[in-house]
Amino acid sequence: MIVPGRVLVIDDAFDDVRDIIAELREKGESVVFTTSLPEDEMLENVRLLIIDLFLAGEDPDSNFDAVASILEKISERTKFFLIAIWSSHVRNKDDDQRIVETLKSRFKTRTNGKEIRAVFLEPFGKTIPQSELCDRIAKSIEFHPEWGLLLETERVVEKARDQTVSDIITTASIPVILKALKEEVGETALSRQMIDLFLRILGRHSKATDTMSTCIGKMGTLSEVVDSEKYGLIHNLQFYHSVASDERTWTGDILRRTIGEGEYEYAVVVSPACDFAQCKQRPFENMRIIQAVRINHEDLVKEEAKEHLRAKLRVQQDTLEACIRAVFEDGRFLQKRFYVLNFLKDDDLRGLFHLVLDFHQVSKTPFRETGTLIEQNDGWKRICRVDTPLIESLLHEYSAYASRIGVQATPEDIVKSIVEKSKQQTPQPSS
């Protein structure tokens, strides 16, 4: 098998791809052939597209637009796939570059500036025998271990999925599972909790393969120089997730509301999940939120932003390095009343940013059980939700701070007098 998922072959002449389709099916691929754009159902889970460049006569512009339209439709249903241009109009390297750049440009125009997330393989001319195309595609994937690792990961997940479904079916009936989950989280979060359960079991059955190890090995020694922007995006994927607009408010929701032209305030919901899960049995009118201050990631490299950062972070040191470390090493540089959430994104605003939560700034905002949109809750808009285990860490630190016990400190003048006496009684070194 070359790829997990579906292989879509689009060509105006079946004879030009007959042998390719036969070989793909012999390799165990799920292949769909069509002479034009297929039904939407056939665009789900496409991992490899083999497409003729000329599908609409001989006019180049019309054909590029037709192919760009097909790419647009597929990308609406499948976010990542490989593209192999299979055309008699591919003659040399210059053709290769021109074809790919033209298709990317047409796609961008059709989608109002969006970049295509698919990967273009080297375009193949139809002077290549059909029997060689599959091997060439496989070698292209092998030459790019990043693609191979992603595809192999999907293959591992597919295999684990079958075992996960088997576990759920054979362990207990679905109604029993749902009843247990409902008692744990309530009815409003039942579907999400079911998915979480499925994914936890899936993770247990997912095991690395020799192919994955080979792909990782081919990437060689990882560079010590880390691109903070790229790392920030990965960090964001690990610790935050998007929530459908019609899902109710929940613990860990990060909220934003406008307070002026281009000015916003942020907050994080810290009311326990049981309040939301059992709100029908035990209604509550207000949810607890912690106010937060936004720090743009790009400001962390600006010396002129140092004083502004110091004021936000309450950092005593006056160096820019101390301010930066306060964002990423809050345990060392910030007071215990603060907690930092790193590398957030807001789809309505540009750039990555960090939020500094102040445990002194805890307040309540109305919670309306009858409304499903977060905008109905006192003007707040949800931008994402803090995922596990970060939300547990945040709640633990907040709980520890809120429940700390006050102990009377020794007066400063007493401490000072003891220090002075100790200095007087310290033996002087002999000459």
DSSP-derived pairing of the beta strands 338-344 and 124-125:
unpaired
Q: Domain limits at 60?
A: 6-143
State which of 87, 115, 143 marks the end of a domain: 143
* H-run or E-run covering 22: helix 18-26
164 with 39, same domain?
Answer: no
Residue 284 lies in a domain: yes
State which of 173, 194, 218 marks the end of a domain: 218
Residue 425 lies in a domain: no
331 with 247, same domain?
Answer: yes
Residue 14 lies in a domain: yes
Q: What is the pLDDT of residue 283?
A: 66
The Cα 342–Cα 235 span in angstroms is 8
The pair of three-digit structure tokens given for residue 126, joined into one six-digit string: 């139809």
Residue 325 lies in a domain: yes
Number of H helices, E strands in the chain: 15, 13
Exposed / middle / buried, residue 164 (Cβ in 10 Å: 0-12, 13-18, 19+): buried
Q: What is the pLDDT of residue 347?
A: 78
Q: Identify the CA nearest to 51 among candidates 5, 117, 100.
A: 100
The Cα 155–Cα 146 span in angstroms is 14
Total domains in the fold of the chain: 3
The pair of three-digit structure tokens given for residue 168, joined into one six-digit string: 């759920």
- Where does 301-374 show beta strands of DSSP type E? 338-344, 353-366
State which of 112, 143, 174 marks the end of a domain: 143
Q: In residues, how long is the chain?
A: 431
Residue 161 lies in a domain: yes
Residue 419 lies in a domain: no
Does the pTM surpass 0.85? The reply is: no
Q: What is the pLDDT of residue 384?
A: 93
242 with 286, same domain?
Answer: yes
Residue 239 lies in a domain: yes
Mean pLDDT by 10 residues, the chain (431 residues): 89 91 92 87 90 81 88 90 87 76 91 89 86 90 88 88 86 80 75 85 88 83 70 91 82 89 89 77 79 88 74 70 77 79 87 91 77 59 91 92 83 87 71 54
What is the three-class DSSP state of 41? Answer: helix
116 with 265, same domain?
Answer: no
Q: Identify the CA nearest to 375 among candidates 284, 249, 272.
A: 249
Residue 56 lies in a domain: yes
